[in-house]
Amino acid sequence: MRVGLLTMCVLLAGCEAQAPIPAIEATHEAAPEGAPAVTISFQPQTPLIERTAFGQALNFDIRIGNTGAAPLTLRAVQVTVRNKAGEVVQVSEINDNGPAPGIGAVTGRDVAAGEGVTVFNPLHTLAANIDAATLDYRLEFISPGGQEIAAELRASPQTYVTKTALRLPVQGRVLVWDGHDFYAHHRRLSLDAPPATAFGLTSNANRYSYDFTLVDAQAKRFTEDGKAHETHLSFGQPVIAPGDGVIVAAVDSFKDDGQLTDADLQADLMNLFGNHVVIDHGNGEFSRLGHLKSGSVKVKTGQQVKAGDQIGEMGSSGSSLFPHLHYELATGPDMKAEGLPSTFRNLDRLLGAKRAPMDGVSPDSGDIIADRAAKLVH
């Protein structure tokens, strides 16, 4: 502990040195008058562990509130990983040491007085063999006057196993153009930024999203210069139901021009995806498929579908730069839902002419994948 450090132990059971750190919500002792004060919490409250080809991914945010009168700068984030026996198995830290401070990678590290920021969990990957029963986070701040303050909070992450028997919703050689790794745009929704606060968002339904696009053997998405939708290999290709369920939303009113108005978004924030279909799988999981081609949606609200049934075609409606399919699994049908990890049955990673199975793990940005039954030309 640094000399002069004002430690605010954000503990559920008080601030005794040996007290357990809480799993969900943070509380703190009253700070002396005029002293810096900070609160932290996790979003979602119970972080999920996603199984990937690289190990265990931790895709959650840290919400910071500065309840004091002075601005604060986040100087360090430390996490201590403990197994089910309470033993320390890993300690990691990102801090402001060095001329090119690593803490600069932590978005929103400056916290104005009376305001809050979202920090995307920077310690986001664990090896597959680590038993991560608890994650003890410690965040250290400093005020302009040099006063130091720390906050601590415990997460008890849960490994998520997709309940629905999902299959890849597009067929052929598929590039995950953008997934939900630490640098993906789906991942980086700050709930304290104006777009989120304007719509009252308190969760990130896109947290585990994919943008799928079809490519050829050289991983090219289009012919010619790609300016026309028709030159994209994805445009007009079938989109199938990834799993059994009931259609709870089916929108087919947008053109393939990537255009939206404020009125579109005020009417329904799901219109970000333009023409879209939402499937309720009946187990707390909802598949959401967006940017479908104008006039291609083949299902109606209330209709029962089976995995493999065609529901539409790949397009570029809504907030879309080029033809592709936006796919995500979430806890509900609208943008108030929270995202969920999704794995696909019979999925292979393509390694040139070779294949490697991806059973039980999620693909991510840059992966080239295909359904195991897909016949591909090399």
If you average pLDDT over residues 159-182, what whole number do you get?
Answer: 97
- CA 226 to chain CA centroid, Å, is 29
**Mean pLDDT on 300-323:** 98
**Range 25-30 contact pairs with CB under 8 angstroms and sequence separation of 24 or more:** 26/151, 26/153, 28/151
Count of residues making up the chain: 378
* Nearest C-alpha neighbor of 312 from the set 231, 235, 223: 235
Query: How is residue 3 written in tokens?
Result: 């000399």
Q: Which of 330, 331, 367 is nearest to 347 (CA)?
A: 367
pLDDT digits (tens, 9 = 90+) for 324-363: 999 999 999 999 999 999 999 999 999 999 999 999 999 9
For the cut 60, the answer to whether the pLDDT of residue 78 exceeds it is yes
pLDDT at 15 over 60: no
- How confident is the model at residue 18, as a pLDDT? 27
Give the span between the Cα atoms of 177 and 174, in whole angstroms: 9
Out of 31-35, 161-165, 239-243, 279-283, pick the least confident: 31-35
Closest CA to 339 of 41, 118, 61, 40: 61
Give residue 6's pLDDT.
26
The predicted pLDDT at position 192 comes to 83
**Could you give all domains of the chain from N- to C-terminal order, each with its CATH number?**
5-159 (2.60.40), 174-371 (2.70.70.10)
**Averaged pLDDT for residues 273-302:** 98
- Reduced to 3 states (helix: H, G, I; strand: E, B; else coil), residue 81 is strand
* pTM for the whole structure: 0.88
